[in-house]
Each structure stands twice: as structure tokens, then as C-alpha cells.
């Protein structure tokens, strides 16, 4: 996890005097509602309008809810009770429970009753700072399945990315347990220094915080330094030589700590019969991931080419790969995959 950006959580701007704006939004439905709400919430004035946020939280579809998690509440949590209470609604997965919470939430937001809002959060809060740790910031990032807070361990000051599922559904905690198993494989492959662990609540995850810059950030400032570029080649080679394919190795998941690259997230990890199969899949997926992240072909192609030259791949690779595919080998047939 990269270092948190400079704290931008200054006092909120004046609330939007937006009864007309809210009335217009209220008349919209479905995708039109979500799109218009997202446009409004890009403006800080509307982002700090609790009544407009209440509408978005109450009626938003899945894409708008993810936007609220990842963008809107990123710099608002822990400042005002109204924002914490509104965000808490996003963490409730059961429709009946959410309806009851919103029924209590609406009058408290309208009355700006901070004591009531704070009490409401505690009625649904299932995430608590792990014992022996101190919260530094409520949110330094958010992904598809979890948001990330920054903690320090009291006894030694070690920092952790504390991953909290976006809602209270059991699937969120299970996904984090899968990430723990993946982190153990990352360490075996030399991609991280330390593994992740589940927190004492067995619902959230503690991942050692990696100080540094993402590949995405570094590429925005020009060509990679020679040692960083060589490190990327080493990383790809180490994965493939172990006959592994690690999906989702994208520029946001790679952190350079000043000495080496470390992986902070990935998709599934697969064990394959040969280095050729591992390289073919790793190369294809890495190319796709980096292209989607707007990394230029002239940047990543030489890195992939150099990694390929260091691997002991058979002659006539295209023919060998065609024969492999004829065996109808599929990734899901391998019990080692997770």
C-alpha cells in the first residue's frame, strides 16, 4: 500500500443551498439518478450537503454506491457524525436492516442531531480498530471489495493497511481470507517481505504497510530508473520460473519501496505444468492490465521482452503452445489455484 497522500480533509465548505438541486435529482430514476448524482457529487459543495448525500445513499445503485465508498467519503470519514452515519448505511447488506436504519437516519440528518447520528453509527458498526493498534486515518483507499484505513501498532509503531469489507456480508470476510492465502504465496515467490493476517475480529485484515510509490505514480513522472526497471523484470521472471501465473498485476498493485518492488494486491494465483504455459498467461494478462492502466506499449513491451529472454523457454514456442491448448488444459482444473 502506498503512502497516504497529503491530508486534504480541511473543514467542509459551506453546504449547498440546493433544495432545487435535490428536487431535480429526486425526480430521476435508475441509471439516470445514479449518473446525475455522481455528476453533482463531483462538486464539493454538493458533496457536503447531507440531504443530497442521504438521497444518494438511500437510492443509489451498485455503481453509485461504489463511487460513494471510493471517492465521496474518502476524505469525510471521522470528521462529522453525519458523514459517518451516512457511510454506515452503505455497509448494511440486508435489505430489511438497511430499510430500518434509513428510517431512523433520515430524521436525524434532517434535524442535524449529531448525538443521535453518532449513536446510530454504533448500532450498526461491526468494524472496530484491532486491539493494540491506533487509527491514523479512516480511509487511504478503496477497491472493489474493501476499503483501507491506516493503523499503527502500539508496541513498535509498525504501520498496517487495515482492510475492511465494503459491507457486512459474509462474502467480504471470506475474500479477505483468500487474500491472506495469496499473500503467503506472494512471500514464497519473493514478491513481499511480510504476509497479511486476519485481525482479531476475523472479519477485517491487517496488511503490512509498504512505503513507496506505485508503478502508476512513477510512470506519470517519466521513464523508470534503471534499477526499478530491472526489478520489474526480476519480479516477472520469479513468478514464471516457479510455474505460477499471478493475475491482476497492474500498476496500482506494484509498489517500489526504494529497493525493490512489492505486490500489495492481485487476482488469483495459478500453478501451471510448464514455464511456457505460465509465461504465456502471465505475459498476456500483464499486457492487458498495463494497457488498461494507460501504460504505453513502448514502456512495457521492452520489459516483457527482457523477461522472456531470461526464461528457459522451448524452441518453436507457438507450436508448443498450440499443442498445449489442444490438451484442453484449463486453469480451473488445478486444485492449487486460489
Classify residue 240: in a domain, yes or no: yes
| Residues contacting residue 278 through CB under 8 Å, at least 6 positions apart | 239, 240, 242, 243, 244, 245, 272
| Domain shared by 244 and 329, yes or no | yes
> Is the same domain home to 85 and 32?
yes
The last residue of one of the domains, among 208, 242, 261, is: 208
Is residue 246 located within the same domain as residue 300? yes
Range of the domain at 100: 19-124
DSSP state of 311: S
Cα angle: 306, vertex 309, 311; to 5 degrees: 115
Which of 256, 253, 252 lies closest to 228, judged by CA?
A: 256
Q: Are the CB atoms for 245 and 279 separated by under 8 Å?
A: no
CA distance 57 to 255: 33
Q: What is the pLDDT of residue 51?
A: 95
- Of 208, 238, 261, the residue that ends a domain is 208
**Number of residues in the chain:** 338
- Is residue 4 in a domain? no
Burial annotation 113-132 (CB, 10 A radius, 16+ → b, else e): beebbeebbeebeebeebee
- Give residue-wise pLDDT tens across range 323-337: 555 554 555 545 456
Phi, psi of 316 (to 5 degrees): 55, 50
Same domain assignment for residues 89 and 141: no
Count the domains in the chain: 3
* Cβ contact 280:245 at 8 Å: no
The CATH number of the domain holding residue 156 is: 3.30.200
> How far apart, in whole angstroms, are the C-alpha atoms of residue 299 and residue 320?
28
For 58-88, the pLDDT digits (tens) are: 999 999 999 999 999 988 998 899 999 999 9
Establish if 2 belongs to a structural domain: no
Q: Cα-Cα-Cα-Cα dihedral of 33, 37, 40, 46, to 10°?
A: 130
Residue 14 lies in a domain: no
Q: Does 88 share its domain with 111?
A: yes
pLDDT above 90 coverage of the chain, percent: 76
All cell numbers assigned to 28: 430521476
The per-residue pLDDT of the chain, averaged, comes to 88
Domain shared by 178 and 255, yes or no:
no
pTM for this structure?
A: 0.83
- If asked whether residues 225 and 327 sit together in one domain, one would say yes
Q: Has residue 187 been placed in a domain?
A: yes
Amino acid at each position: 500500500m502506498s503512502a497516504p497522500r497529503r491530508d486534504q480533509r480541511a473543514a467542509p465548505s459551506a453546504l449547498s443551498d440546493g433544495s432545487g438541486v435535490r428536487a431535480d435529482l429526486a425526480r430521476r430514476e435508475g441509471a439516470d439518478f445514479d449518473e446525475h448524482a455522481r455528476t453533482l457529487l463531483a462538486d464539493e459543495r454538493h458533496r457536503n450537503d447531507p440531504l443530497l448525500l442521504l438521497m444518494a445513499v438511500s437510492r443509489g445503485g451498485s455503481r453509485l454506491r461504489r463511487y460513494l465508498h471510493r471517492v465521496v467519503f474518502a476524505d469525510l470519514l471521522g470528521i462529522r457524525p453525519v458523514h459517518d452515519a451516512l457511510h454506515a448505511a452503505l455497509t448494511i447488506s440486508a435489505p430489511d436492516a438497511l430499510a430500518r436504519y434509513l428510517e431512523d437516519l433520515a430524521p436525524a440528518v434532517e434535524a442535524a442531531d449529531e448525538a443521535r447520528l453518532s449513536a446510530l453509527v454504533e448500532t450498526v458498526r461491526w468494524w472496530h480498530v484491532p486491539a493494540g493498534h491506533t487509527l491514523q486515518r479512516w480511509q487511504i483507499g478503496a477497491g472493489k471489495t474493501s476499503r483501507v484505513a491506516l493503523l499503527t501498532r502500539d508496541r513498535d509503531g509498525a504501520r498496517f493497511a487495515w482492510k475492511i469489507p465494503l459491507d457486512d456480508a459474509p462474502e467480504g470476510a471470506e475474500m479477505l481470507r483468500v487474500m491472506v492465502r495469496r499473500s503467503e504465496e506472494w512471500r514464497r515467490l519473493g514478491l513481499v517481505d511480510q504476509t497479511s493476517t486476519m485481525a482479531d475480529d476475523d472479519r477485517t485484515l491487517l496488511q503490512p504497510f509498504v512505503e513507496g510509490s506505485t508503478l502508476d505514480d512513477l510512470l506519470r513522472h517519466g521513464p523508470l530508473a534503471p534499477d526499478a526497471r530491472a526489478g520489474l523484470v526480476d519480479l516477472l521472471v520469479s513468478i514464471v520460473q516457479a510455474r505460477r501465473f499471478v493475475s491482476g498485476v497492474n500498476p496500482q498493485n506494484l509498489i517500489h519501496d526504494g529497493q525493490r518492488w512489492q505486490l500489495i494486491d492481485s487476482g488469483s494465483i495459478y500453478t501451471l505444468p510448464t514455464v511456457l504455459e505460465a509465461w504465456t498467461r502471465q505475459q498476456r494478462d500483464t499486457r492487458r492490465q498495463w494497457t488498461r492502466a494507460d501504460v504505453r506499449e513502448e514502456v512495457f513491451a521492452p520489459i516483457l521482452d527482457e523477461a522472456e529472454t531470461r526464461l528457459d523457454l522451448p524452441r518453436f514456442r507457438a507450436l508448443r503452445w498450440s499443442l498445449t491448448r489442444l490438451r484442453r488444459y484449463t486453469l480451473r482444473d488445478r486444485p492449487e489455484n486460489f
